[in-house]
Structure 1
Amino acid sequence: MQNYVGGAFVVPDVPVAPVYDPSSGEVISRVPLSSAREVDAAVRSAREAAPAWAATPIKDRVQVFYRYKALLERHLDELAALVTEENGKIASEARAEVLKSAELTEFSCSLPQIVTGEVLEVSRGVECRVERFPVGVVAAVTPFNFPNMVPNWSIPNAVALGNCLILKPSELVPLSARRIAELLEEAGLPKGVLQIVHGGQEAVEALCDHPDIGALSFVGSTRIAKIVYRRATANLKRCLALGGAKNHLIVMPDADREMTASNVIASMSGCAGQRCMAASVMVAVSATDHIVQRMVEHARAMVPGRDVGPVISEAARERITRYIDEAEAAGATVLVDGRHARVPGREGGYFLGPTIIDHVTPDMAIAREEVFGPVLAIVRAKDVDEALAVENASPYGNAASVFTESGGIARRVMERANAGMVGVNVGVPVPREPFSFGGWNDSKFGVGDITGRGSIELWTQAKKMTTKWNREAGVNWMS
């Protein structure tokens, strides 16, 4: 892999790390581990491109993204295949990821209608107006679990709003980032507006420290999100850092059996459970065994390699397995066991089958910590208030859902769940555009959200202008 600086792919003189196909364990590429020197080169290139791009009218800037959206759709199969190759997603999940990138890009095309500014005659002959201006050079650090979509959480909006952006993709999944750059170049994005710097910790620290970067978005674990947020803001830059999650799905006894079972299992196992919106704890309220049994049937029918892809690495598989082992040793009951999943012809892959563990107690690690795998822990509760107490006790606050036929129960959970995204009879309550994505508590650090209207504050700064042309306008203490 190569960095992308000034509209050209370049090979930095730095150490490299292997990139693995998680479905086979084979090395498929090598990625440079860039240093602060490479970050500085990218920033210089972005800084040179910034004045002309910021001066380009927004209606002209978004024309690039109209074309980019069409290219995402035209190359859907190719882009999805890249996601499968580097991340391991099954084909349908990879296609859905790229289609979501197209939806995110479509929103950026609407920005000229959204950031129109405000104007008011505040007194006779005196006008106040607010206009939004780009921050300048900005950066985005993205994770392994959505190599195409999460970069497009930041690139279209930040760039359409007039910024020049430096992308640091996860070193585990660098392939999609290159193709994104190529398609944006084909769509007409000027040289220097987008840079890609591959690397690990040193590159991220350099982005946080560089004085010419004005804003930074980050998506990853809560532990690293806290470090990035503190370091970036200590260097006086804006930062929005999205961390991990522990999403609770509260299932009431009146919930529709088939819809609930299928939705919960899809939420738990989709993308091999490697998404911050995955169901990881189901709080089963009162008499819900009939729903749990149907969930077991759904999970047992799923075939690793066909219905569930691998996790990202051998280390991830070992870590997830330890959580299951510890819960079982502590007295939980493993209803469906995916620890010994094997895929013929892919014996070197990092596969885990769907796993359901019942009678988990809230104090167990598997109920408290982000597992990030196709594992569902079931905690039992006597009523909805006890279920909400379990959900509210989590330090995270990304998402929560309730499955019920009662409007009153649904409203109670929506109001009292301690999470930024809440669903009713929805296993993955991701807001669709133009509604923005972002959690609460230890799932998000910073103000605003990373997509939709919530991202505008991150990527722009408001300029307030007051004008007086009427000589007869009154004179007062503000004159």
Structure 2
Amino acid sequence: MEVQTLKYPAIRNYVAGQLTAATQAPTLEVYSPLSGELISTVPLSTAADLDAAVQAAKAAFPAWAAVPIKEKVQIFYRYKTLLEHHMHTLAGLVREENGKTYDEARAEVEKAIELTEFACSMPQLIQGEILEVSKGVECRIERKPLGVVASIAPFNFPNMVPHWTIPNALVLGNCLVLKPSEQVPLSAIKIAELLKEAGLPNGVLNIVNGDREIVEAICDHPDIQAVSFVGSTKIAKVVYRRATANLKRCVALGGAKNHLLVLPDAQPEMTASNVAASMSGCAGQRCMAGSTMVAVGGVDHIISKLVEEAKKIVPGQNLGSVISREAKARIEQHITDAEAAGATILLDGRNTQVPGHEAGYYVGPTVIDHVTPDMAIAKEEVFGPVLAILRAKTLDEGIALENASNYGNAAAVFTQSGSHARYVMEHASAGMIGVNIGVPVPREPFSFGGWNESKFGACDITGKSSIEFWTQLKKTTTKWNPESRTNWMS
């Protein structure tokens, strides 16, 4: 029997600075969405494997926490340089395991560099406070790390999302266990290797691969103090409830159904290109995708231009693949169901094949008009390059459609009217708002996080807000002058 040679070595866990085989764990095959080719295998680790990683992190924590933060960030300055130096390799891994275009994969790594830069600014952001509250009596506040923390990452951004948590959590003194998606395990190992090369001590970052069993074990492990999660709303709810039931901090980011409100006075060319890019970028597999356009009033001229722009998006060229064969089938079923329910298909991306990559998982750009709020495609997250167009007569009616969604990640308005833009900013029920921007992702130091069923827990996952999540306050009151007058404060 011929043994197939894998393009990449079989994935192993990363514990205490070493690649480590999982104990008695079955393996899962890893396929490239670009070609359908088997490229590696990943272990489905057990709770015992997680415990080994946690113990390594626990052992590393006292020494790491004692390192002054000005010294910690020197490691991340060196790491930033390594990210830049290995840009092509890192982008190639993202493209191989996720299916993005090269430009999208490179942009993802560039965002990881920006996140690392922000972590390097932490010494200027977490300065303590001190005040003489009475004669000879001082109160001091300092931020201290939590201990061992965990991060559960999704498939859609195998390089960027781990950087939402790794730099900040580690610079603030924690030791972290990362659980990457079992569908995209390649990038995480390369990240760990580069951090070790930058000088990160063994045990400060550990990686455990697996599926549901590891997620549950992270939520249950008594030595893990905090958990971050990014994924679907259904699983985010489960993780948040289970982690907090075990008295852990948790921030869990879920799905989205982002609405782009297009008004008649919107600039046609800019709006059409922005909406097309928002719905199709990263093959629509991002929680910031503009999956629903709300056409307010007479905007048929913009819809026509939108379809023209969408036709320029070509699978295998400037449109990547979706993550799996199952995802392709699910997305195409959404399109079929919408058509059966009475919607009009303006551009159909079903049954797409890319020459030379016929086994790849591609869905072409799809634009569906006259979608009604009761249709599944108007309510559920499709996670593909599909745009559903709902019609509204007035701006208030359009905002009502947006606010009726259970999600609240992002919303945007396209208009040349400042008053209309301000009205949407004030009334849309979403955590991130765009004005003439289809993907309103905040740049550092502004934090990322939605509302409603798009996020569970306090604090955001990035930016200044993340400092609150990854640290705890220590308050100290001191008195050195026994001759000072005593009052109720001393």
Asked if 1:21 corresponds to 2:35, the answer is no
Paired position in structure 1 for 2:475: 464
Farther-moved stretch of structure 1 (469-478 vs 418-427): 469-478
- Indicate if the aligned counterparts of 2:226 and 2:249 stay in contact, CA closer than 8 A: yes
Asked if 1:312 corresponds to 2:323, the answer is yes
Q: RMSD of the TM alignment (CA)? A: 0.7
Asked if 1:8 corresponds to 2:18, the answer is yes
Once the two structures are superposed, the pairs formed by residues 23-422 of structure 1 within 5 Å of their partners are 23-422=34-433
Aligned-pair CA distance for 1:98: 0.2
User: Secondary structure of the equivalent of 2:57?
Assistant: helix
d(CA) in 1 for partners of 2:367 and 2:404? 22
d(CA) in 2 for partners of 1:301 and 1:180? 34
Aligned-pair CA distance for 1:476: 3.5
Asked if 1:453 corresponds to 2:464, the answer is yes
Identity across matched positions, percent: 69
Farther-moved stretch of structure 1 (114-123 vs 135-144): 114-123
d(CA) in 2 for partners of 1:19 and 1:474? 71
State the Cα deviation string for residues 291-349 of structure 1 (Å, max 9, x = none): 00000001112210001111000111111111111111111000000002110010101
d(CA) in 1 for partners of 2:409 and 2:82? 32
* TM-score with structure 2 setting the length: 0.97
- Indicate if the aligned counterparts of 2:273 and 2:309 stay in contact, CA closer than 8 A: yes
- Indicate if the aligned counterparts of 2:134 and 2:489 stay in contact, CA closer than 8 A: no
Aligned-pair CA distance for 1:449: 0.4
Q: Give the aligned residue type for 2:301.
A: H
User: Secondary structure of the equivalent of 1:154?
Assistant: helix
Q: Give the aligned residue type for 1:402.
A: V
Q: Give the aligned residue type for 1:223.
A: K
Farther-moved stretch of structure 1 (298-307 vs 97-106): 298-307
d(CA) in 2 for partners of 1:97 and 1:301? 22
State the Cα deviation string for residues 104-143 of structure 1 (Å, max 9, x = none): 0000000000001111111222111110000000000000
Q: Give the aligned residue type for 1:361.
A: T
Asked if 1:438 corresponds to 2:449, the answer is yes
d(CA) in 1 for partners of 2:265 and 2:133? 56
Partner residue of 1:476 out of 459, 462, 487: 487
d(CA) in 1 for partners of 2:67 and 2:279? 44
d(CA) in 2 for partners of 1:341 and 1:146? 23
Aligned-pair CA distance for 1:477: 4.0
d(CA) in 1 for partners of 2:429 and 2:136? 48
State the Cα deviation string for residues 251-309 of structure 1 (Å, max 9, x = none): 00000000000000000000000000000100000010010000000111221000111
Q: Give the aligned residue type for 1:106.
A: E
Aligned-pair CA distance for 1:478: 4.7
d(CA) in 2 for partners of 1:75 and 1:228? 34
User: Secondary structure of the equivalent of 2:224?
Assistant: coil
Q: Give the aligned residue type for 1:100.
A: K
d(CA) in 2 for partners of 1:125 and 1:478? 11
Aligned-pair CA distance for 1:471: 2.1
User: Secondary structure of the equivalent of 2:464?
Assistant: helix
Aligned-pair CA distance for 1:371: 0.5
* TM-score with structure 1 setting the length: 0.99
State the Cα deviation string for residues 365-422 of structure 1 (Å, max 9, x = none): 1011111000000000011100000000011000000000000000000011100000
Aligned-pair CA distance for 1:475: 2.7
d(CA) in 2 for partners of 1:383 and 1:66? 51
State the Cα deviation string for residues 65-92 of structure 1 (Å, max 9, x = none): 1011111111111100000000000010
Unaligned runs of 5+ in 2: 1-10
d(CA) in 2 for partners of 1:50 and 1:214? 12
d(CA) in 2 for partners of 1:119 and 1:431? 32
d(CA) in 2 for partners of 1:118 and 1:291? 54
Farther-moved stretch of structure 1 (121-130 vs 48-57): 121-130
d(CA) in 1 for partners of 2:485 and 2:61? 41
d(CA) in 2 for partners of 1:303 and 1:467? 67
d(CA) in 1 for partners of 2:483 and 2:340? 83
Q: Give the aligned residue type for 1:2.
A: R
d(CA) in 2 for partners of 1:440 and 1:301? 33
Q: Give the aligned residue type for 1:78.
A: T
